[in-house]
Amino acid sequence: MQIPLVMTIISPDRTGLVESVARAVADHGGNWLASRMCRLGGEFAGILRVEIPAAKKSALLDALQKLQTNGLQIVIRADEPGATAAAGKQTKLDIVGSDRPGIVREITRALARANVNVEEFSSEVVSAPMSGETLFKATARLQLPEPCNLAALKNDLEKIAADLLVDVSFAEFPQS
């Protein structure tokens, strides 16, 4: 029997970090299913999902515990079977504009009011190509509840965007 696990990892960035976790999973008969990882500042952080034979779970947890002596922090949770996606529709939200504090707070506040679930979110601050001003860019995958008044949500976000001097746009999220 295979047991699915979800792990988060964070550590000062260094060569071989991902390999050490991948080796521990593979050495215990595990299968690496999915992950999202990146370097932010001087830290490396990620989330991953693996399956491990039930009989080897304890040994894997011990091996991962030993990795933590090298500055790696790992949190492991059981991936509960039977979790189903919420009813509704997925959509993509893009945000671009002059950087300033509060953009993420205001946009996510409006999404929460509309009971929209943020399933994936990535953002960065970059230099604008022509002006060199600091530009905030974000992309989110959203799960809209059933039913959702998309027109009202768009209107709410457009009002916030005007106040924040950012552009927001929705697009159909490609189904996998």
Residues 13 and 54 grouped into a single domain: yes
Statement to judge: residues 73 and 95 lie in one domain: no
| Total count of domains within the chain | 2
CATH number for the domain spanning 45: value is: 3.30.70.260
Residues 119 and 166 in one domain: yes
Q: Quick one: 42 and 102 in the same domain?
A: no
Shared domain check, 168 and 94: yes
Q: What is the rounded CA–CA span in Å between residue 93 and residue 74?
A: 30
Q: Are residues 98 and 50 in the same domain?
A: no
Percent of the chain with pLDDT over 90: 70
Question: Could you tell me if residue 83 is inside a domain?
Answer: no
Instruction: From residue 36, give the alpha-carbon distance in Å to each of 18, 76, 107.
Output: 11, 15, 23
**Distant-in-sequence, close-in-space partners of 64: CB < 8 Å, separation ≥ 6:** 7, 21, 24, 74, 76
Whether residue 95 is found in the same domain as residue 156: yes
Residue 46 half-sphere exposure toward CB, CA atoms < 13 A: 19
Confidence of residue 146 (pLDDT cuts 50, 70, 90): confident
Would you state the pLDDT for residue 113? Answer: 92
pTM for the model: 0.80
Give the range of the structural domain holding residue 69, as residue numbers without chain letter: 2-78
Say yes or no: 93 and 72 in one domain: no
112 in the same domain as 136? yes
Is residue 108 very low, low, confident or very high in pLDDT (cuts 50, 70, 90)?
very high
Determine, yes or no, domain membership for 72.
yes
Residues 115 and 166 in one domain: yes
CA 90 to chain centre: 15
